[in-house]
Structures are given as structure tokens and as C-alpha cells.
Amino acid sequence: MSSEWPLWEIFIRGQHGLNHRHVGSLHAPDAEMAIRNARDVYTRRNEGVSIWVVRSNDITASSPSEKGPLYDPSNSKVYRHPTFYDIPDEVGHM
Amino acid sequence: MPSLPDMTTPNLDALAGQALAQGGHAQVPAPDAGQPQFVEFLQRMGDNCLILGHRVSEWCGHSPALEEDIALANQALDLIGQCQLWLGLAGEVEGRGRDADALAYLRDAGAFRNLLLVELPNGDFGVTLMRQFLFDAFHIEMLRALRTSADPRVAEIAAKAEKEVAYHLERSADLVIRLGDGTDESHRRMQAALAKLWPYTGEMFLDDAVDQAMADAGVAPLPSALKAAWDRTVASVLDEATLALPADGWHHKGGKNGIHTEHLGYILAQMQFLQRAYPGAKW
Amino acid sequence: MYAQLVKSEGSKTREEMTPEEIAFQDRIDRNEKIEPKEWMPEGYRKTLIRQIGQHAHSEIVGQLPEGNWITRAPTLERKAILLAKVQDEAGHGLYLYCAAETLGVSRDELLEALHSGKMKYSSIFNYPTLTWADMGAVGWLVDGAAIMNQVPLQRTSYGPYSRAMIRICKEESFHQRQGYDIMMKMCAGTPEQKAMAQDALNRFWYPALMMFGPSDKDSVHSAQSMAWKIKMNTNDELRQKFVDQTVPQAEYLGLTVPDPDLKWNEEKGGYDFSEPDWSEFFAVIAGNGPCNAERLGARVKAWEDGAWFRDGLMAHAAKASERARAARHAAE
């Protein structure tokens, strides 16, 4: 059996200047075709978006067993969360 | 489908529309009436899109990979959309009350004006891709030229279609290169596809009286004027694909004048079946 | 549904579970999502691969009965809508294969299992689409039944599956509506069109009911899958919900549901209806439906005929990257 097209992870930045966001994956023989396939599969051809593709094998992910040490510290920094602050109603939406 | 405003003669059009809306016959002749050559030209544009879109859509669910299936469906959708615009305008200019659907579903083969190239059977995936590339390389030049058409409706359709077709060409050219310069088998298949299709490419660049009239009116370029650019695109892509350019030989023709291959009849038998079996039904 | 008779691995009481399995079940009970590469019981992984794989296969085989009519659609607009819909099904197959791939199986392996008959797809796609009204009936009934199952699956415990379902549900919202729209047009059309619509309902009603799988009392695999939140509702629950939703829609169209025993049951607040012929269901699953051979044959042919294309592109990618490497080397 022939070799399978590698798997790519697809990241797309929409029109509104937000960060690239992971939208899914697909198969393609190389990066250039992965971008084109992403355009057809995940944007159905929307113009004006930016696409990143990364070979799935090249992604290094935090390992689930490290879940405690990696994530706990920031969980304690509650001041990073907007709800940490009590804003009086009179001030309005913030 | 977006309706295209007639910027040249808005009042006449509006009057004609009103008259029709009131249920009577239009008292005011359509502004473009008496332009059979213009209608002819618009049908050529629309029929190419319709028939090629039909062929490409035959792959849906049968392509070699899911990613390719989805990409081809996008292409077929673009072509069907373009066909609706061209044939819609053709019906409007003709002024006999036929819309795009009436033209697509109720003409017999002899009234179709598409190139023979686009009605040829899909063959293997290589033939499909090569046919797409050879046509895209022509289509893009035609649409670019039409953007400066003296008829603003034509220019507007061309501007929309050009963006889509630029992407079709990017894809088809790239795949021809990759498969030509892939395995021995993919190379052999692409070369065979080219040999099979080459005799159908000459028709794209033949000028006739319709083309001359359109060129004189500033509506469309002479097809022969597009050949140099097409030659350059094709030569450079085939070179990169390590495929040999076929020697120029015999070229088939006839589609533009309604003399088709046997294949078109079967396409229409399928496409028009419901409209023919249940005349006048609404779907 | 698109996944019927998915065999579920193992079914343990809490006392029989290892501490790891208990912790895992607790996470699921707290509605936490399980993500790829996290620890999971082997049975959970295998059951998911079967279910997601079967769901993916159903999407791509499901392209065929409708794809059948793309070249015969009666207007240009209907042609475009149908093509876009069948294209979505290819996309949904793609998302689901990708979700399955996070569990350590490749798309090619899954396809091979489909082609060899080791893995199944939904029984519904082994029925023929004989008239244009079938495009209406498939959208209305088959997509309607599918949505019934897929909406709750957005909350399934496995993260990638849940995310794929969210995307699919979003894209699929027009599928059922376009089917019903076709039915409305035909029911308001000529007597022949209306007869065609009734005929389509007659042929697709019971196969649509079969999509939810056998009755709960005969469904051996449900309990474990529900505990794992891979399956969110029982077969009978969904079937009842589907009937209750669909009967008024049929009435609006002026069509008759082909079940003489169908009647409203005030007490339970739902319809009483006849069970489909389950012997037919098992025959179709076993490969003896009207279109099994054709459907599978079409998929195998597409795959085999496309091998040179996929290989050619891989070969080119290898050549191009080798050339780029050599060029960099020369430049240094």
C-alpha cells in the first residue's frame, strides 16, 4: 500500500484581526497543498484570511501528566481574570 | 443570483419591467433586441461554464481524496454560478422571456455554443485535470479582456468570474506540474491526457463573424488575440511539469456553432430529463 | 443513527474498576472533556474509533445517493444547492476522520476497513434514490434523523469528536430545510409531483426510523456508551422524538405517513407508531440491501482509481523537498 499523505493542523486568522485559531486538520502531500486544501475545506474560499499550516507531527504539546505543574500557577493568579475586580454598577460596562 | 443593473439604459429597462409586472406584453422593446450576435456570444460564455461545471460535478463523491472532492465541488459551484450570470444576461438581451434555466434546460444540443473541449468525457483524473488546465488558461485571458468590455454588464460578470477562475488556474496548473513531475505512471497519464485533448484546444482561438462583431463593438476580444498569452502559460507549465508540448496538428471545431460531439446529447439527456418529462412543473 | 450497532467494549461496575478507571469515569461525570493523549480506558478508545469511523464512513457513502441526482437536478439553483450539500458531506467525513485520527488510527486504515467490509456505514444509504422527490425526502427525513442525534453529540465526552460535531451541526443547519423546501414545492405542484413526494415518503419512512438502531431492549451496547457519554440518548428516545417532530411536518405537506397504526397518544404526549421491519434492517446491515454492492463498489473504485494520483503527488512532494535541500546545501 502506498504512503499516506501526511496530516496537517490548520490555523486561520479571520477578518477581524484576532489571533490565528486552530480550526481542524486535513491531509496533503506538502505545505503548499495543505494551504490550498485548507482554503477549499475550511474557508470554502473566503478571501482575506490568513492560513497557517503545521505538520501534525511537528507540534509539541504539553503532556497531560504535567497538567498540574504547568497550569496551576496561573490559576492562582486570579487577578488576571476580569471577574476578580468588583466594579460598581454606576460605572457602567467595562 | 445578484441582478445586474443595466447602466446604459435604465429607464427603458425599468419600463419594460413594469410592463411585464403588470401582466401585459412589454410595450417597450428590450434595449438590446436585435443583437443576435451578442446573445450568441453570451451563450458561448455561459455554455462553457454550464457544461464544464456539469462534467466536474460528476466527480462529486468519486474523487481520489476527500480534499480533492471538496475542491472540485467548489470549482463546479463557481462554474454553475457563472453560467447563471452569463445565461441570465443572454436571456435578458434576447428579450424573448427566457431565463437562464430555460436556456440551460430547454435548448437542444444544436443550440448549445460551448467548446467541444468542455463536453469531452472526464476520463481518468488526469484527463479531467488537464482539460481543466487547458480551459482555465484560456478562460482567464478571456475574462481579463472582458473586464474592459464596452458593455458594463459583461465587465461586471467578468470581474467576479476572474477572481474565481484565477484560483481554478492556480490549482489546475499546479496539479499538472506535480503529476507531470511525479511518478512514472502519473507522468505517463498526464502526457496521454495532453495528447488526447490537444486537438480540441485550437477551437478556443478561432474567430468567426460573431467574434468579429463583438470585437468591433468593443464588447469582447477576438479569441485569436488571446492565443499568445495562452501559449506562454501552457508552455511554461508543461515545461515545469516535464511534459512535452504536442506538435501542432489537426484541430476539431464546431461547438461554437452548434455542431457537437456525440457526448453533449448524453449530457443533455441527463441534465434536462426532469424538465422534459414534466413540462412546466415548478421545482 | 449514522452510527448503528456500535459494539461497545466492556461494561464494568464501579467495584470492578481500577482506580484509574474510576478517576476517568468521575471526569466524564463532571462533564470534563477527554482530550487526545490523555489516559483513557482501551475500551473507550476502541469504541470511539468504531463509532466515529462509522459516522465518517456514513458521510462519504452518504454522498452517493444524493450525488446521483446532481447531474439531473431540475434547475440551476437546485443543482448548486444539492452540490453544496453533498460537498458538505465530504467535509463532514473529513472532520470526522480527523477526529478519529487523534485516537491513533489513520484515515487510510479506516478506509481500508470500510472497503474490506470490516467497518459499516449507516443502513440508510443502501436504499436507492429513484426520483427527484427522494432528494427532498432524504434532506427532510434522513438529515432530520441525523440532526436529532448529532445535536446532543456536540456535548459528547471526547473533545475532538465534540468539536467536529459542533462544526458539522453549524454547517448542516440548511440541509434539512432544503429537503423540506423541495417537498413543499412538489406538494404544491402538479398531481404527478405530489404523487412522487408521497412515494418518496412511503419508501423512506421506515428506513429513516431504522437509522436510530434497534429497540433499546435489544440494544446491548448502549449502557456503557451512555456512561462514557459517547452516546447521549437511547435509540427509542430519539426515534420517538423524531416521529413526534415529523408527523406534523408531513401533515403540513398534505402527505400520509405510511403507518395505519400511527396515532396520537395523549397520555404519553407522543405518537404511537409501528416498528420498522427489523429483519430487513439486519439484512441491509449484513450487506443485502438494494444498493450495498453498488455503494461500496463506488467507494472502492474511487479509491483504487485514485491511487496513482495520490502517489504521484507524494512523489512530487518528495522530489521538491529533496531539490530544496540540495539547493540550500549548494548555497552554503
Domains of chain A: 7-89 (3.10.20.520)
Q: What are phi and psi of C154, to 5 degrees?
A: -60, -25
C13, pLDDT greater than 50: yes
Interface test with A, best of B59, B67, B177 (most A CBs within 10 A): B67
Asked whether residue C40 is assigned to any structural domain, the reply reads yes
Asked whether residue B130 is assigned to any structural domain, the reply reads yes
CA distance B66 to B173: 20
Interface test with B, best of A40, A42, A49 (most B CBs within 10 A): A40
Residue B20: pLDDT band with limits 50, 70, 90: very low
Q: What is the pLDDT of residue B7?
A: 37
Count contacts between B and C (CB, < 8 Å).
151
Cα of B186 to nearest chain A Cα, Å = 14
B219, pLDDT greater than 80: yes
Give per-residue pLDDT as tens, C239-254.
Answer: 999 999 999 999 999 9
CA distance C247 to C103: 40
Interface test with C, best of A2, A21, A55 (most C CBs within 10 A): A2
What residues in chain A have their Cβ under 8 A from chain B's Cβ atoms? 5, 26-29, 32-33, 36-37, 40-41, 44-45, 47
* Domain enclosing residue B114, as ranges: 32-277
C49, pLDDT greater than 80: yes
Asked whether residue B143 is assigned to any structural domain, the reply reads yes
Asked whether residue C6 is assigned to any structural domain, the reply reads no
Asked whether residue C169 is assigned to any structural domain, the reply reads yes
Cα of A89 to nearest chain C Cα, Å = 33
Cα of A31 to nearest chain B Cα, Å = 13
Please indicate whether, in this complex, the C-beta atoms of A4 and C106 are within 8 angstroms of each other.
Answer: yes
Whether the Cβ atoms of residue B11 and residue B31 lie closer than 8 Å to each other:
no
Residue C15: pLDDT band with limits 50, 70, 90: confident
Complex ipTM more than 0.90, yes or no: yes
Q: What is the pLDDT of residue B14?
A: 44
Which of the residue ranges A26-30, B99-103, B129-133, C174-178 would you say has the lowest mean pLDDT? Answer: C174-178
Q: What is the mean pLDDT of chain C?
A: 94
Which chains, if any, share at least 3 CB pairs under 8 A with chain B? A, C
CA distance C105 to C103: 6
Mean pLDDT of C128-149: 96
> Which chain C residue has the Cα nearest residue B180?
C312
Please report, rounded to a whole number, the percentage of residues in chain C having pLDDT higher than 90: 89
Q: Looking at the DSSP assignment, which residues form a beta bridge with residue A7?
A: A27
Residue C181: pLDDT band with limits 50, 70, 90: very high
Sign of the four-CA dihedral B199, B201, B203, B205: negative
Residue B1: pLDDT band with limits 50, 70, 90: very low
Please indicate whether, in this complex, the C-beta atoms of C314 and A61 are within 8 angstroms of each other.
Answer: no
Asked whether residue C296 is assigned to any structural domain, the reply reads no
What's the total number of domains in chain B? Answer: 1
Which of the residue ranges A56-70, B178-192, C120-134, C200-214 would you say has the lowest mean pLDDT? Answer: A56-70
Asked whether residue B283 is assigned to any structural domain, the reply reads no
C126, pLDDT greater than 70: yes
C-alpha cell at C74: 431540475
Q: Is B281 helix (H, G, I), strand (E, B) or coil?
A: coil
CATH number of the domain encompassing residue C95: 1.20.1260.10
| Residue in C176, C177, C163, C6 with CA at minimum distance from that of residue C92 | C163
Give per-residue pLDDT as tens, B165-196.
Answer: 999 999 999 999 999 999 999 999 999 999 99
C38 CB neighbours in chain A (<8 A) are 64
Please report, rounded to a whole number, the percentage of residues in chain A having pLDDT higher than 90: 44
A28 CB neighbours in chain B (<8 A) are 67
Give per-residue pLDDT as tens, B76-124.
Answer: 999 999 999 999 999 999 999 999 999 999 999 999 999 999 999 999 9
Interface test with C, best of A8, A39, A44, A62 (most C CBs within 10 A): A44
Residue of A27, A45, A47 with shortest CB distance to B67: A27
Give per-residue pLDDT as tens, C277-331.
Answer: 999 999 999 999 999 999 999 999 999 999 999 999 999 999 999 999 999 999 8
Please report, rounded to a whole number, the percentage of residues in chain C having pLDDT higher than 70: 98
> Which chain C residue has the Cα nearest residue B177?
C316
Residue C37: pLDDT band with limits 50, 70, 90: confident
Give per-residue pLDDT as tens, C79-107.
Answer: 999 999 999 999 999 999 999 999 999 99
C132, pLDDT greater than 50: yes
Q: What is the pLDDT of residue A65?
A: 56
* Domain enclosing residue C230, as ranges: 14-289
Please report, rounded to a whole number, the percentage of residues in chain A having pLDDT higher than 70: 61
Q: What is the pLDDT of residue B22?
A: 43
Asked whether residue C196 is assigned to any structural domain, the reply reads yes
C313 CB neighbours in chain B (<8 A) are 175, 178-179, 182, 186
Q: What is the pLDDT of residue B8?
A: 37
A90, pLDDT greater than 70: no
B267, pLDDT greater than 90: yes
Q: How far is the CA of C95 from the CAs of B62, B179, B250, C57, C91, in angstroms?
A: 18, 27, 48, 11, 6
Mean pLDDT of B224-238: 98
Kind and range of the H or E run holding A33: helix A31-42
Residue C332: pLDDT band with limits 50, 70, 90: confident
Asked whether residue C227 is assigned to any structural domain, the reply reads yes
Please indicate whether, in this complex, the C-beta atoms of B71 and A27 are within 8 angstroms of each other.
Answer: no
Q: What are phi and psi of C222, to 5 degrees?
A: -65, -45
Please indicate whether, in this complex, the C-beta atoms of A40 and B163 are within 8 angstroms of each other.
Answer: no
What's the total number of domains in chain C? Answer: 1
Asked whether residue B16 is assigned to any structural domain, the reply reads no
Residue C12: pLDDT band with limits 50, 70, 90: confident
Quickly count helices (H) and strands (E) in chain A: 2, 3
> Which chain A residue has the Cα nearest residue B77?
A44
Reduced 3-state DSSP string for chain C: CCCCCCCCCCCCCHHHCCHHHHHHHHHHHCCCCECCCCCCCHHHHHHHHHHHHHHHHHHHHCHHHHHCCHHHCCCHHHHHHHHHHHHHHHHHHHHHHHHHHCCCCCHHHHHHHHHCCCCCCCHHHHCCCCCCHHHHHHHHHHHHHHHHHHHHHCCCCEHHHHHHHHHHHHHHHHHHHHHHHHHHHHHCCCHHHHHHHHHHHHHHHHHHHHCCCCCHHHCCCHHHHHHCCCCCCCHHHHHHHHHHHHHHHHHHHCCCCCCCCCEEECCCCEEECCCCCHHHHHHHHHHHCCCHHHHHHHHHHHHHHCHHHHHHHHHHHHHHHHHHHHHHHHHC
Please indicate whether, in this complex, the C-beta atoms of B61 and C301 are within 8 angstroms of each other.
Answer: no
Q: Looking at the DSSP assignment, which residues form a beta bridge with residue A21?
A: A12
B133, pLDDT greater than 70: yes
Asked whether residue C163 is assigned to any structural domain, the reply reads yes
Residue A3: pLDDT band with limits 50, 70, 90: confident
Q: Looking at beta carbons, which pairs linking B31-40 to residues 24 or more positions away fall under 8 Å?
A: B31/B6, B32/B92, B32/B93, B32/B94, B32/B95, B33/B95, B35/B93, B37/B209, B37/B210, B37/B213, B37/B214, B38/B93, B38/B151, B38/B214, B38/B217, B38/B219, B39/B90, B39/B93, B39/B94, B40/B113, B40/B210
CATH number of the domain encompassing residue B143: 1.20.1260.10
Q: Chain C 189-218, CB below 8 Å of chain B: which residues? A: 189-190, 192-193
Q: Is C132 exposed, middle or buried (0-12, 13-18, 19+ CB in 10 A)?
A: buried
C321 CB neighbours in chain A (<8 A) are 30
Give per-residue pLDDT as tens, A47-89.
Answer: 568 999 999 999 988 766 555 545 554 555 655 655 666 666 7
